[in-house]
Amino acid sequence: MKERLVVIGNGMAGVRTVEEIIERDPDRYEITIIGKEEYPNYNRIMLSNVLQKKMTVDEIITNPLSWYDENDIALINDDPVVGIDSEIKSVVTESGLVIPYHKLIIATGSHPFILPIPGADKEGVVAFRTIDDTKEMLAASEKYKKAVVIGGGLLGLEAAKGLQEQGMEVTVVHLAKWLMETQLDEKAGKLLQAELEDQGLNFLIEYATQEILGDNHVTGLKFSNGEELETDLVVMSIGIRPAVELAKEAGLEVNRGIVVDDFMHTSQKDIYSVGECAEHNGIAYGLVAPLYEQGKVLANLLTDQEEIKPYQGSKTFTSLKVSGADLYSAGNILNTDDLDSIEAYDSASRKYKKIFLKDGKIQGIVLYGDTDEGSRYYNMMKKGQPIEDLQTIAVLQAIGENLGGAESVVDWDDDETVCGCNGVEKGAILRSIREKGLTSVAEVGKVTKAGTSCGKCKPQIQALLEHELGDAVTAATGICSCTDLNRDQIVTQIYAKHLTSTKEVYEALEWKNPEGCPKCRPAVNFYLNVAWPEEHQDESTSRVVNERMHANIQKDGTFSVVPRMRGGQTSPQQLMKLAQVAERYNVPLVKVTGSQRIGLYGVKKEDLPQIWEELDMVAAQAYGKVFRSVKTCVGQSFCRFGTQDTMGLGVKLEEEFEYIDTPHKFKVGVSGCPRSCVESAVKDFGIIGVENGFQIYIGGNGGTELVAAQLLTTAETEEEVVDICGAMMQYYRETGIYAERTAPWLERMGFENVQSVLLDPEKRKDLWKDLNRASAAKGRKDTWGVVLRNPDLREKMYTIDRPEVVKVGE
């Protein structure tokens, strides 16, 4: 029987927590969500866009009613909870419904603060907090001409701008000395006021409202200085207060908000709280990103994840959604007496930047007029990245360059935040693009929430999409004449539509040739192997002839047989078998190959099954787009110059990675000293033994276009070499174009990018998870080795007759 999870609050924090729980363990709970409003979950941040008529109410609904049905969630709307009984573990709604729970999440959000002054209850006085508030304001704008917004903070200014755009004459009344005084310093606040005045808004700064005038409906305001102002509508936007009444009545510990620990526990067992109603370390957050961070921690806890990182508080930022008024604020910009600061100001263009520093690290950011570097500064502050040589105003503008960082989001670290509103990091966006086949900013937003709030990060999301998909789009119009789609478009659709066979791909993507062709069949089969290793059954009929025959076709139509000899080592018994088979079947040529194996050349097709059976050896895959044999020198075991056990390492690598598909052949060389007798520097993965370990080179290719490998790093142990090799191979599998060697792949992906991935232990760990899944699902030798000794499988393999696939010299 499932545990019952009840969520009080159908807002952004509570529903996001449920989304995270479903993503981790969809069958864990029987979930009920209880909301106060009549609407399904919506993006409250976008209400200003609805007020400005840039969006409709339907467009800000983030989880429609169908989402609740699809996830078996019971939604009780327009019926708020009025009581919690923690002893019998149940809640009761306004209509009298009693809902039991095993786990309870309180996500009641906040109430708008209404000034306790005479007339505050009159008709025409509204807050700006809900869809209904927004609808009331829009209705008023059609009937009345004058509006006053009390409060010059973020929401107040967005409300004022929205009403102005509906044709109203709007005055903003603000008590402090400048606008947005908790997010901006005085200079930035004054610049913002000047910009908004130019746009037609009116301001009364340092005015205290004393009374709202009128009989039933508001007619004006009276201020503490005795002045009065006529108005038809008053919008209160002077802050929020955590909605803690339910928690307080239930006996939970409450200060300003519901007190929670680092794992979102309240003071009572099995009751948790997230969002604006929760207070962590004395702080109740009113922005979305912290709420989502809390939701992830709680979801990890409630689904018993192995590693649960505690919530440690959030660094927040602010961005205004008003055209022509670009501002960005983050961190500590108020208590700055013990902080250093650097300031740049261009009065002609109204551009202003101020960075607050302590011990060489960013503590606060204020940007006005030019906010492009906001995310970059924010990430530096969040990570505690030290700033070097930042001494003058002149270098402020080039801070990114001075720090060695690039302006493009493509060059950011994966743990840097792209969407600050929703707390979405670059790595999360890239993983979603790759794993779920996302091809548009809208799709990324739907999956990750990135770009769905203020929207200012959408260009960065687009840049990441173009980086992931754009190169292939410009490089080729398609992989063959059967389709106009290129590699990335095919792969993204395989993920997006969960296509698990070549037939499904051809049908779903409207292949011109419903059976594919020799060029696209192997490519699609490979992409399916990588995407769905457990679900996709490797299709032997879609493999090139060499792979189907486990032998390399020669120019005269005969084949070469190359058994596996791990690390280039053999035994007298193997040598005798090879000699006996060669003599019995009149093999024209027995040759040591370039990879230090012994090959039998000139073998007739009809003799292949029997030869493999008599050899009782597995294929070295000297013909496939796979991890090839490892070439080694004798190393320190015999050579006086050798520094490492190269043959032993070569055997380890082959045993670990043999039978793994790759976009093209993947060659490895292990040399015992810098003399590099096995030419490690022109291998896809080259290893050179040195006194302190192993130098690792990647991206080298021999052949018609010789490409030297690039030095990646020096590994201290054999285990580290194997770890890096596996990670590189999986990264190549996931991002490579079929038939693309590692040299052009490395050039396309960028060496520094690949290096940053392969040298990151956490990223290697993630790549290994996928590699192990692929290895386990493939059954390795079942596909490439055992088939050669199984008469039924051999018969099936070698009687396949697809002449359009079998091409001499392929």
Instruction: Read off the pLDDT of each residue in 411-439 and give the average, rounded to a whole number.
Output: 83
**pLDDT (tens digit per residue) in 578-613:** 888 778 888 777 777 666 677 777 878 778 777 777
Position 703 scores a pLDDT of 67
Burial string for 338-366 (b: 16+ CB within 10 Å, else e) reads: ebeebebbeeeebbbbbbbbeeeebbbbb
The residues, ordered by sequence, that sit 6+ positions from 222 with a Cβ below 8 Å of its Cβ are 209, 210, 211, 212, 213, 228
Q: In 408-422, which positions are buried (b, 16+ CB within 10 angstroms) versus exposed (e)?
A: ebbbbebebbbbbbb
Distance CA 70, CA 61 (A): 16
The predicted pLDDT at position 642 comes to 67
Q: Is residue 787 scored above 50 in pLDDT?
A: no
Given this model, what pLDDT does residue 324 score? Answer: 61
- From the number of C-beta atoms within 10 Å of its C-beta (0-12, 13-18, 19+), residue 167 rates as exposed
pLDDT on residue 214: 93
Structure tokens belonging to residue 13:
């924090």
471 pLDDT higher than 60: no
For residue 587, the model assigns a pLDDT of 79
Highest-confidence range of 12-21, 326-335, 405-414, 529-538, by mean pLDDT? 12-21
Tell me the C-alpha distance between 71 and 314, whole Å: 30
pTM > 0.75: yes or no = no
Give the pLDDT of residue 548: 66
d(CA 262, CA 298): 9
Long-range contacts of 438-445 (CB under 8 A, 24+ apart): 438/465, 438/492, 438/496, 439/465, 439/469, 439/489, 439/492, 439/496, 440/465, 441/465
Predicted local confidence at residue 342, as pLDDT: 82
Domain ranges of the chain: 3-110+242-302, 125-238, 326-407, 428-475, 487-542, 625-784
Which architecture, in CATH terms, is 428-475?
Orthogonal Bundle (1.10)
The average pLDDT across 178-201 equals 90
Q: Which residues contact 14 (CB under 8 A, 6 or more apart)?
A: 7, 8, 33, 105, 107, 274, 275
> Are 346 and 191 a contacting pair, CB within 8 Å?
no
Mean pLDDT of the chain: 82
- Listed range (128-137, 212-221, 623-632) with the worst mean pLDDT: 623-632
Q: Which residues contact 99 (CB under 8 A, 6 or more apart)?
A: 4, 6, 32, 34, 76, 90, 91, 92, 93
Residue 686: φ, ψ to 5°: -110, 140
Span 781-809, mean pLDDT?
38
Above 90 in pLDDT, residue 41?
A: yes
Taking the alpha carbons at both ends of the chain, their separation in whole angstroms is 58
Greater pLDDT, 136 or 373: 136
Q: For position 704, what pLDDT does the model report?
A: 61
Domains 3-110+242-302 and 625-784 share a fold: no
Pairing of strands 233-236, 240-242: unpaired
pLDDT higher than 60, residue 470: no
Average pLDDT over residues 234-240: 92
Contact of 792 with 671, CB cutoff 8 Å: no
Pick 539 or 175 by higher pLDDT.
Answer: 175
Residue 625 has pLDDT above 90, yes or no: no
- For the ranges 461-475, 514-528, 628-642, the lowest mean pLDDT is seen at 461-475
Q: Please tell me which of 270-279, 536-545, 547-556, 705-714 the model is most confident about, judged by mean pLDDT.
A: 270-279
Percent of the chain with pLDDT over 90: 35
Residue range 58-110, pLDDT digits in tens: 888 989 999 999 999 999 999 999 999 999 999 999 999 999 999 999 999 99
Partners of 271 in beta bridges: 104
Beta strand segments in 251-335, E:
258-260, 271-273, 278-280, 317-319, 327-331
For residue 310, pLDDT over 90 is answered with yes
- Cα(751)–Cα(745) distance, rounded to whole angstroms? 9
| Cα pseudo-dihedral 539, 545, 546, 547, rounded to 10 | 0
How many Å apart are CA 262 and CA 147, to the nearest integer?
A: 43
Q: Give me Rg for the CA atoms of the chain.
A: 33
Domain with residues 326-407, CATH architecture? 2-Layer Sandwich (3.30)
Lowest mean pLDDT among 17-31, 176-190, 494-508: 494-508
**Close Cβ partners of 488 (under 8 Å, ≥ 6 residues apart):** 468, 469, 472, 473
Stretch 305-313: mean pLDDT? 90
Cα atoms in the 13 Å half-sphere on the side-chain side of 381: 25
- By the 8 A CB rule, do 352 and 345 touch? yes
Instruction: Give 34's pLDDT tier (boundaries 50, 70, 90).
Output: very high
Pairing of strands 61-63, 41-42: antiparallel
How confident is the model at residue 798, as a pLDDT?
Answer: 41
Print burial letters for 18-35: b (CB count within 10 Å at least 16), e (below 16). Answer: bbbbbeeeeebbbbbbbb
Q: Identify the pLDDT of residue 122.
A: 94
Q: Round to whole Å and give the CA distance between 220 and 125.
A: 11
Q: What is the pLDDT of residues 682-706, one digit of tens each?
A: 889 999 988 888 899 999 987 666 8
| From 309-323, 515-529, 550-564, the region with the lowest mean pLDDT | 550-564
Give the range among 164-168, 301-305, 468-472 with minimum mean pLDDT: 468-472
Looking at residue 279, its pLDDT comes to 96
Torsion sign (Cα): 326, 329, 335, 336: negative
3-110+242-302 CATH: 3.50.50.60
> What's the CATH number of domain 125-238, 3.30.360.10, 3.90.550.10, 3.50.50.60, 3.40.50.12160?
3.50.50.60
**Architecture of the domain whose range is 625-784:** 2-Layer Sandwich (3.30)
533-551 burial, b if ≥16 CB within 10 A, otherwise e?
Answer: beebebbbebbbbbbbbbb
Spatial separation of the C-alpha atoms in residues 553 and 725, rounded to whole Å: 29
Q: Mean pLDDT across the stretch 509-533?
A: 81
When pLDDT is cut at 50, 70 and 90, the band that residue 447 belongs to is: confident
The span from the CA of 289 to the CA of 315, in Å, is: 9
Task: Give me the mean pLDDT over the 294-305 stretch.
Answer: 94
